[in-house]
Every structure is written in C-alpha cells, then in structure tokens.
Structure 1
Amino acid sequence: MCYGSVTCAAFVSITKGVSVNARFRMKRKVALGVTALVAVTVSAVSASAAPFPDGNGSSDHWGVITRNTVGSPVAALRTGPFGSFGVQGPAARPPYGQGSLGIETADDSTSLTPSSEMVVFGNEVDFYGAPVLGLNQVGFRVFQTSENVSYGGAGNMPNIRFEINPNLTGAPASTYSSMVWVPGPSPVVDRWSPYLDATTTGRWFLTGTAATVTGCTQVAQCTFQQLKTALNDGGPQPTIYTAAVSKGRDSMWIGAVDGLRINRTVYDFEADGVKTHRIG
C-alpha cells in the first residue's frame, strides 16, 4: 500500500532497490564467511602438519640441547676424523665435505644414578609441528672405533632421537615422549660406515606413558613400521617437537656422526656449521 506523496511506482522502485541491496549484502557476507572459513581451515591444517625442511643451504638452529644433556659431554662440529691410520679411500674421510659431529661421553663421571653422561645435539626449531607419520627416511653415517666396541659391545652406538607429542587416543593427557632409534652394530670399525638406514635396521622405542600404551618400550623395542602403526591409532596425528643425534646414558663412546638424513634432506655437519643437501 502507498502513503503520502510517494507514488506507488516510486514505492515499488525503492522496495526493489532495498531488496536487491539486502540480497547483495547477504551474498557478500556469505562469501566472506566462506572465505574466512577456508582460511581458518587451511591455517589449521598447516599448523597441524608443518612441512619438513627440504632444500639445499644451511641451518643455524643446530646445537647442544642443554635441557637434555647430563654431565659435561662433548658434541661439537669438527674437521674429520680422517683415518684411522692405514685406512684409505672414501671410508677414510667424512662422507660429506670435510667435517662431522664429534661426540664424547663418559660412563662414570657424575654424582647421579646412573653416573654416566648424556649428550643431545639437535634442532628445536625446524621440525616443530611436522607429522611423525610423515617420516619415511631416517638414518646417518657413523665413525665407530674398536675401542668403543670394547667399552660397551658392538651395540655401543649413538642414537637418533625425536621429541614428540604422541597424541594417543589411549592416553590423551600424555603430550610428551622421546622416540629413539637404537642402531644395530656398525658393519665396520675404525673408519666411516656406509649409510645406516633407521627405517629398515635397528629398533625403536618410546619413553613415558606412550611406551606403555604402544608397547614400544626400551625393553620391548619395535621396528620403524611397527612404531608408526602403533602411533597411528585413529586420533590426531602425532607431531614432532625436536630432532637430534644423541648418546647416553650408558657406555663411554668417542666417535663421530655425519650425513644425518631426515626425509629428503641430508644434514652435513661441518666445522663452520650445518649444511643441508636435498636428495631427489
């Protein structure tokens, strides 16, 4: 119905304009809402599945993780080792460049129980938030000595260690565990080993509540695939906090590690820093 001086035609025109503007605003709000929802979803996915480092260059984020280190062990970027004496060819030099990560730990030098040392040389930045189940290549090369074997047997070797949030449905309150690779004996001593593949050799275990829930304990260790299967229990994906090379707390060990591989990136430990090389 029309009122006052406004004609019916004008009224209809105004009404249509208001209706069109209202519909336009509604569509715009819906579009903006969908865009915001997509942005939030993408952001959530990115945060829960951060990518692994992948490329050539260097990383400044490697060093001794002080909160995990016990006693006064050594983990230092160094030149060499070259040898041992009489050894020639590729096995007599670091597999990448001129340097490596030198490691020294003692078996009886602290007032703690046990009295042995532990050192963790790692990266608390670059792997944060990456998916544990996204790990598909892990390993390193080691300079093992016959003396180290005499100190603790053929299995006296350094480890690869990931601190993780296991995100287990069977233990939702447990947000921390260490995921540790225990390599088998090095196939050679007093020289650089070939690549030791942590996904097909050695054993893995978890620490804390996650070990009990998954069954991958230090006493009952798992293969890499068994560990990933146990962590893939239908809940949120387990994620990585840190990645590291470690040794201890057990037997004395003096040696070196180089060419740490995590997925498509090899970490080349050199005296002047950590270089990265992409594979594939």
Structure 2
Amino acid sequence: MNARSGMSRGKKLAVAALAAIVASALPGPVSAVADTGRDHPEHWGVITRNTVGSPVAALRNGPFGSFGVQGSSARPAYGRGSLGIEVGDSGEKVDFGNEVDFYGDPVLGLTKVGFHVFQTGENVASGGAENMPGIRFEIDPNVSAHPGDNYSSLVWVPDAAPVTDRWSPFIDATSTGYWYLTGNETACTQAAECTFAQVKASLDDGGEKPTIHSAAVGKGRDHMWIGAVDGLRVNRTVYDFEADGVRAHRAG
C-alpha cells in the first residue's frame, strides 16, 4: 500500500486505464458531458414504416481502415462504432432514426445538420459519386396553401463524399448537397432542388410553423450502398453511433 496516497499501485493503474477508456470514447469536438436532454438510446432504431425489402441498418464496431489508411480517417469520428448500412438493390430502402425525441420540434429551428460517412469505391461504381445515404426529417409542413396536409419528408441529398474507402470529415448539410420536400407542398421538390436556406424559407409562409415528427439517416430506393455513418449532428447535439447504443453529446 502506498502510504502517501492510500491507494495501491494496481488500483492506480486500473483507475488510469478506466480514464483512458472514457477519454478514447469521446474524440472529436464534443463535451465530455453526455446528457443533452436527448440521451435516450432506446428511442433509436430502424423505422419499420419506412423500410422496404431486407436492408440492414445496425450499430456496429468500426469500420477501421481501409487497409493502409491511418490517422483520423481510419476510424469512426466518435468512439469505436458507427451505423452500418447495407442496401442491396434499387427496390430496398431503410431509415434508422428516432420517432420520439424530435417530435414537435420546430423545423425552422434547425441550424446545423450533417454527418461523417464511410463511402467506398464500390458504391461509387454502383451508382455514381453521389450515391450516398441522406438525412430525412418527417414533418408536418403546415403550409397555408395546403391546410389539410400534415405530412411530408424533408430530405437532404449529399454531394459526392470528399474521400472514399475511409472516413470523411464532417459533411455539412446546411451548406452542401440539396434539400426537397416529398409532398410538393412548396417549390422545393426533388425536381427543383433547394438549398437549406431556401427550403426553410419555403416553409415559412407566415402561418402556423412546421414541426418535426422524426429524424433519421436513410438510404434507398435507388442504388446498392454498403457503408457506414457516424456523428449525426442535429443543432447542438452529436449522435455517436456505437455498437452498444446511441450516445448524445453536446457539440463544441
């Protein structure tokens, strides 16, 4: 026993090891305080209503690599895990998200959205450089011109990933790619792509404000895609996908 500290050398090593594990689980620009008011891992999962065929969206460890890749791009952005997505063909679709914690939040209150992605060369060969997963908010658009319409999907389609066969840096959905609404409630349709600012402005028509039903990361129905996503950000919260659950961290 160390008389000065009252702690054995073995116990000190155990404490140091535990601290190292905790620190390694929180890389990146996030606070060590996980409780953001949205830390409910049990609320995350495959949204069955929005899943077609037999795709996979599952929390996993890694991916690490690809082979020969080192540094920050060789590991998930946060912790050790990610959300693995496998969509086999154009008939399949999957959304992995949360139907509880975002319900009733203001669409116009969205200010920061995006994620990190593990894109592969095979995905690009299958569907082109913009063959990517996206972010989908189910919303009540509350557009005055369509008073009986209380459902639409607000969808972000990313640009091509900046890198392949490794983890990307954060991809900002508020400044890259395009957005659209699925129900033709405004001029922002899949055929008439809008910026983030434009789609929000199209929903702000002076009447009742649009609200969120759910938030999700998804893929389909277009091309095969097999990869992973981590560090989904919605405003000031980063969702860290780990094999044992989804952790919410305050963004730096």
Query: Quick check: TM above 0.5?
Result: yes
Aligned partner (choices 65, 68, 73) of residue 50 of structure 2: 68
Whether 1:256 aligns to 2:237 is no
CA distance in 2, matches of 1:138, 1:165: 19
Classify the secondary structure of the residue corresponding to 2:131.
coil
Amino acid at match of 1:159: G
TM-score by length of 1: 0.76
Which residue of structure 2 aligns with residue 169 of structure 1? 144
Which residue of structure 1 aligns with residue 15 of structure 2? none
CA distance in 1, matches of 2:41, 2:81: 15
Which residue of structure 1 aligns with residue 129 of structure 2? 154
Amino acid at match of 1:61: H
Aligned partner (choices 51, 69, 74) of residue 92 of structure 1: 74
The answer as to whether partners of 1:179 and 1:204 remain within 8 angstroms in 2 is yes
Whether 1:234 aligns to 2:216 is no
Classify the secondary structure of the residue corresponding to 2:86.
strand
Which residue of structure 1 aligns with residue 192 of structure 2? 220
Which residue of structure 1 aligns with residue 247 of structure 2? 275
Whether 1:54 aligns to 2:36 is yes
% of aligned pairs identical? 70
Classify the secondary structure of the residue corresponding to 1:169.
coil
Greater RCO (Cα-Cα under 8 Å, separation 6 or more): 2
Once the two structures are superposed, residues 86-119 of structure 1 have per-residue CA deviations (whole angstroms, 9 ceiling, x without a partner) of 10111000010000000000115xxxxxxx1000
Deviation at 1:209, TM superposition (A): 3.7
In structure 1, list runs of 5 or more residues that go unmatched: 1-52, 109-115
Once the two structures are superposed, residues 113-149 of structure 1 have per-residue CA deviations (whole angstroms, 9 ceiling, x without a partner) of xxx1000001000000000000000000000000000
Classify the secondary structure of the residue corresponding to 1:60.
helix
Deviation at 1:179, TM superposition (A): 0.4
Which residue of structure 1 aligns with residue 99 of structure 2? 124
Classify the secondary structure of the residue corresponding to 1:226.
helix
Deviation at 1:247, TM superposition (A): 0.1
CA distance in 1, matches of 2:166, 2:236: 25
The answer as to whether partners of 1:204 and 1:223 remain within 8 angstroms in 2 is yes
Q: Which has the higher helix share?
A: 1
Q: Which has the larger radius of gyration?
A: 1
What are the within-5 Å matches in structure 2 for residues 179-218 of structure 1? 179-210=154-185, 214-218=186-190
Amino acid at match of 1:192: W
Which residue of structure 2 aligns with residue 43 of structure 1? none
Whether 1:83 aligns to 2:65 is yes
The answer as to whether partners of 2:38 and 2:101 remain within 8 angstroms in 1 is no
Classify the secondary structure of the residue corresponding to 2:89.
coil
The answer as to whether partners of 1:74 and 1:103 remain within 8 angstroms in 2 is yes
TM-score by length of 2: 0.84
CA distance in 2, matches of 1:235, 1:59: 34
Which residue of structure 2 aligns with residue 47 of structure 1? none
Cα RMSD after superposing both structures: 1.2
* Moved >6 Å (runs of 4+): none
Amino acid at match of 2:65: G
The answer as to whether partners of 2:233 and 2:239 remain within 8 angstroms in 1 is yes
